[in-house]
Amino acid sequence: MLATVPADPVSTDKVAPLRAALLAWFDACGRDLPWRAGEEGRRDPYRVWVAEVLLQQTQVSRGLGYYQRFLDAFPTVQVLAEAPLDAVLKAWEGCGYYARARHLHRAAGIVAAQGFPTSYPGWRALPGVGPYTAAAISSLAFGEGRAVNDGNVRRVFARLFAQPRPADAWVQAQADTLLDPARPGAWNEALMDLGATVCTPKAPRCAVCPVSAFCAAFARGQSTAYPAPKVRAPVQEVRAVAVLMGDQHRAVLEPRTGTLLGGLMGLPTEVVGAGETQQQALARLCARLGATAQGLLGELTHGMTHRRITLEVYVAHGPQAPQEVAQAALSRLDQKALALYGRQPSLFPVP
């Protein structure tokens, strides 16, 4: 069992050397990212905002392409505010967690009308802006002394202080204490870069870490032991059926609902209820649509947060008119479903 260090290993007299070591490393090795352009503490708040929202659930390596695509479509907050929500969701396609895009669009309308907030409280008042995002924007774009608290920061502090299960309040307290008041934005980015590139979850590069001399976990030779693994919620298995009326280019679509996919379009779908078979759910779906199923197109699985969906896709014919798939914002689940038709279109020719 991992023990917690009884006293903080980073004593008061070591705070300044720790800050200096990490910031010197960041100045030499920090990642060159597009939203970091501009003078420290005086960056474009819109670009920082979009990046921070996008990267909440997306790794930087994947997020770079999404970020540039979104900025190409909506180069300013005014353009974003004036765009229809459907266009925003389409530009967000593939990023997942679509509530982020809906909140960003709604908040852009407020900012376009009232101007950018210049402080943490102002950012927190916007839809979808939580403590981390508000601290990141206010420090990076305006130089405000606000410390960020995310997964990278949690892991770095858990190792520095040899804390096996660091609570959010504890992490925030350490972040507030160690924040460099002269360069708060750079300090926040340095911590995040350290966690992303050196103090990584499974294979930390302790030999090149600029703060290993201050690290209690490293001193014990137990870097990977901290923090202790989180207890994960069990994955919920969900079965569902969908019908494809049309083909992979033109198909009948209907609005998705719910927190994750709300606002997107997708193939008509029904979840298989408890004690129900796929065929019973399919019959219920076809009755709702006035459609007739022609045959099974295929089956796929798709992971979403704590759910794993097994989806059977059937070809069907009904009275509804298909629409252009390319113009609709679709989830990865529906893109996978449509791809099934492209593999064997001759089995189910469109009448």
Please identify every residue annotated as catalytic. Answer: 52
Query: Which residue in the block uniquely carries the two structure tokens 């994750």?
Result: 260
Q: Cβ(231)–Cβ(164) under 8 Å?
A: no
Letter string b/e over residues 126-142, b meaning 16 or more CB atoms within 10 A of that residue's CB: bebbeebbbbbbbbbbb
Q: How far apart are CA 242 and CA 192, in angstroms?
A: 41
Q: How far apart are CA 10 and CA 145, in angstroms?
A: 20
Question: What number of other Cβ atoms are within 10 A of residue 98's Cβ?
Answer: 22
Query: How far are the Cα atoms of 102, 111, 296, 332 from residue 94, in angstroms, in the given order?
Result: 14, 26, 26, 6
User: Rg of the chain's alpha carbons, rounded to an integer?
Assistant: 24
Cα angle 218, 221, 226; round to 5: 65
Question: Which residues make Cβ contacts (< 8 Å) with residue 45, sequence separation at least 6?
Answer: 116, 137, 141, 142
Q: Cβ(204)–Cβ(159) under 8 Å?
A: yes
Pairing of strands 236-244, 307-317: parallel
